[in-house]
Amino acid sequence: MTEAATSNKRGKRTENREVRRQQLVEATIASIAELGFSNTTLASVTKRAGLSHGTINFHFKSKEMLFAETLGYLAQEHYDHWSAALENAGPDPAKRLAAIIEVDFKPQICSPEKLAVWFSFWGQARYRPAYLEGCDRYDLERFAAIEALCEEIIREGGYGDIDALSATRRIESLIDGLWLNILLYPKKIPRERAREDVLNSLAQLFPRHFPQSSARSFGTAPTVKTIAQKG
């Protein structure tokens, strides 16, 4: 076998390995969303993935490793989306903050399945802190990014009575709470309405940078483009 053929064969094996791991992670997300954390087993995962039990043992030595990989996948996906949105939003701090908020309510991020998995893992954090250790870096980086943007907006707008750290905690807590409400009451609180709630909260904090939304019907929440035009 030539060197090129050997290299191609290795490349295909690596590609197939990544495809299998992705299948198992996606099946784990589906299983936890449907059955819950405790009732998700390697058997329920392999059944959804359409793979053999030997395949999951080859890629993950234990269920704990599979679960950690699944949470890491969600954390990385969220990070990739919000950091890209931040990079593409331009220099204006209000537009950059709005771009991060938009990501939190995108269908790919804020889906019922993924929200169910996030809250399942958060519910286990007290008993299995190792699950969330891998997410700490992403959480801290996001928090720091939002705090820095709040500081810029406060300086720019002369909001002397607002503390950037407190504002960041308020924003993050509001988003977490709305995610829970979307999970529990999806018909009453759709993603678009939750996004509008966050933007209206920002309008209360920073009225000279975020317009107060006049939208009251489903699907008419203000967008980043609207903020850019009015800002």
155-188 pLDDT, tens per residue? 999 999 999 999 999 999 999 999 999 999 999 9
**What would the pLDDT profile of 31-68 be if each residue is shown by its tens digit?**
999 999 989 998 999 999 888 777 777 778 788 888 98
Same-domain pairing of 79 and 187: yes
- Structural domain boundaries enclosing 1: 1-61
DSSP string, 124-174: HTTT-THHHHTTHHHHHHHHHHHHHHHHHHHHHHT-TT--HHHHHHHHHHH
Query: Does 148 lie in the same domain as 39?
Result: no
Q: What is the pLDDT of residue 165?
A: 98
Contact of 37 with 123, CB cutoff 8 Å: yes
Q: How confident is the model at residue 7 (pLDDT cuts 50, 70, 90)?
A: very low
Per-residue tokens: 214: 């006049």
User: Domain with 47 in it: what CATH number?
Assistant: 1.10.10.60
97 & 16 share domain: no
How many domains in the chain?
Answer: 2
Alpha-carbon distance of 64 to 190, in angstroms, equals: 33
Q: Model-level pTM?
A: 0.82
Percent of the chain past pLDDT 90, that is, above it, reads 62
Q: The domain spanning residue 168 has which CATH number?
A: 1.10.357.10
Last residue of one domain, picked from the residues 13, 45, 61: 61
Does 150 lie in the same domain as 78? yes
Q: 130 and 41 in one domain?
A: no
Considering the domain architecture, whether residues 192 and 226 belong to the same structural domain is answered as yes
Average pLDDT over residues 140-166: 96
Among 42, 61, 80, identify where a domain stops.
61
Which residues make Cβ contacts (< 8 Å) with residue 41, sequence separation at least 6? 63
